[in-house]
Amino acid sequence: MENYKDPISLFKQTNFSKTIWWKLKVNISGYQNETENKLVTEILKNRIFKLIYPTIHQNTHKFSRILIQLYEDGYICWINLDGLIIEKHELTKTKNSGNEQSFIKDKVPSILKWIKGQAELNNEYLWGGTIGPNFDCSGLIQTAFFKHDIHLPRDSYQIKSFCKHLFYLKKFNRKLQPGDLLFFGKNKQCDHIGIYKGDGLYYHSSGNEFGRNGIGIDTLKETKDKISLHYQSKLISAGRVIRGYLWNKTIR
């Protein structure tokens, strides 16, 4: 049995290979750099990663964090060695489930139901949050799809580029369908994301300054609500998820 409690020993056994994949046995946090505690993402148990740094040439006794790349979305971040529990993982070819677009469409009601359940929990906005109950905007969307076996990129601007573009929005468009994603930002530079619920309403996790400090519902229709109006002023476009994201194969 592999020694789950000593990941450095496991890495040494493989000469710190950059091609071997590892599966997480616990939830962990991902950080922006090697020393500061600036959260950029949370990483669910059973996600898969490979090592980027250190290499066999570094003195590994000095390291408290390692740099990794996640398999499901290609995201790169630093993680703590302390508390890390892993096992070696052999990637297997994913079976073609037929019509991927139909599969995703069928999952939309469950995705929206899951988000509704998260919104009913006590929660607040958390930059980097993907595990819950506290999420950032793209973390909520990525995890909602991930829970239903659909992989998306990590950040809102990446999701916008990956989705099938539907149309630019200046006001409510009746062609929107439940599950369509809404993109917000300044000068068409996306920095926020929501998911359309229906009847002009959408879910999103918004911050404290201009939002609801957590998961809430806002409207695309005429309103006097200041928060909804703020996001209407930043609305860029709508997109639709029609395939799962494969960071190492998908043209980005």
Q: Which residues pair with 240 in a beta bridge?
A: 164
- Cα–Cα distance measured from residue 252 to residue 240, given in angstroms and rounded to the nearest whole number: 16
What is the C-alpha to C-alpha distance for residues 228 and 240, in angstroms, rounded to an integer? Answer: 22
Instruction: Report in angstroms the alpha-carbon separations of 226 from 92, 117, 170, 172, 197.
Output: 49, 25, 17, 17, 20
How far apart (Å, rounded) are the C-alpha atoms in residues 75 and 139? Answer: 12
Print pLDDT tens along the chain (252 aa): 444 558 988 998 999 999 999 999 999 999 999 999 999 999 999 999 999 999 776 665 678 999 999 999 999 999 999 999 999 999 887 655 569 999 999 999 999 999 999 999 999 999 999 999 999 999 999 999 999 999 999 999 999 999 999 999 988 999 999 999 999 999 889 999 999 999 999 999 999 999 999 999 999 999 999 999 999 999 999 999 999 998 876 543
Torsion of CA 149, 130, 51, 33, to 10 degrees: 160
> What structural domains and CATH numbers belong to the chain?
7-89 (2.30.30.40), 100-240 (3.90.1720.10)
